[in-house]
Structure 1
Amino acid sequence: MPKGYWIAHVDVADPEKYKDYVAANAEAFAKYGGRFLVRGGQFACVEGANRARNVVIEFASYEQALACWESPEYQRALALRKPVSTADVIIIEGYDGPQPG
């Protein structure tokens, strides 16, 4: 079964208040098995638009990733993030098929 991922591109307007969101989202990610693969860090935008912060979170399945987003735990955290940031977020199923080579 393919894994599921959240891919987020975020601009943070208030870093101090954003910390409240970071603290609050831990409950949902722990409950649904979210694991950060990317959480900020250095990047190069080689094509298209970008935001200041990039995040990739891995889940055991697409269904778990979607359930985490829809959960009351995450929705409480999201209510803290929305007033202090702008984001583009997708939830996507991973790929388990053949690879080149």
Structure 2
Amino acid sequence: MPAYALGHFHSTTPHPDIVEYVERIQGTLDPYEGRFVVHGGELDVPEGVWEGSLVLIEFPDLERAREWYASPGYQELIPLRTPHAVGDVVLAAGVRSGYQPSEKAESIRAALA
């Protein structure tokens, strides 16, 4: 199943460290088959309030996403980002091919019983 690293950055400040971070991040993703799906850009927020920017990186599975985040190469980059891009980062497992949301409804129904 695919997995994702999601970054919700509430505030960012342009800085040379951010430029270096962005220039170097792909090299940390390549060994783990990570690829950008969303990297900033325009957001449409039809419900709720979303402050900041969104980054979404896809991996083949959660194990590789975790390995990437813990890798020495990426850990070296984190201090370049964190003082200038404040936010949250999560790693999340995706759903398998053919997943049906009714499966989730069944588990919720069972929990309610």
Q: TM-score range by the shorter chain?
A: 0.7 to 0.9
Question: Identity of aligned pairs, percent?
Answer: 29
Q: Tell me: CA distance 1:51–1:78, structure 2 relative to 1, closer, same or farther (3 Å).
A: farther
Q: CA deviation at 1:16?
A: 3.8
What are structure 1's unaligned runs of at least 5 residues? Answer: none
Deviations 1:19-72 (A, max 9, x none): 111112122111111111111111122334423221110001010011100110
Q: Do structure 1's residue 92 and structure 2's residue 92 form an aligned pair?
A: yes
Q: CA deviation at 1:86?
A: 0.2
Match of 2:35 in 1: 35
Show structure 1 runs of 4+ deviating over 6 A.
none
Match of 1:3 in 2: 2
How many residue pairs match? The answer is 99
Match of 2:59 in 1: 59
- Return the letter of the residue paired with 2:100: P
In the aligned structure 1, how far is the partner of 2:16 from the partner of 2:48? 29
TM-score (structure 1 length as normaliser): 0.86
TM-score (structure 2 length as normaliser): 0.78
In the aligned structure 2, how far is the partner of 1:27 from the partner of 1:18? 15
Larger Rg: 2
* Aligned 1:12-31 pairs, distance under 5 A: 12-31=12-31
Aligned residue for 1:68, secondary structure, equals helix
In the aligned structure 1, how far is the partner of 2:38 from the partner of 2:68? 18
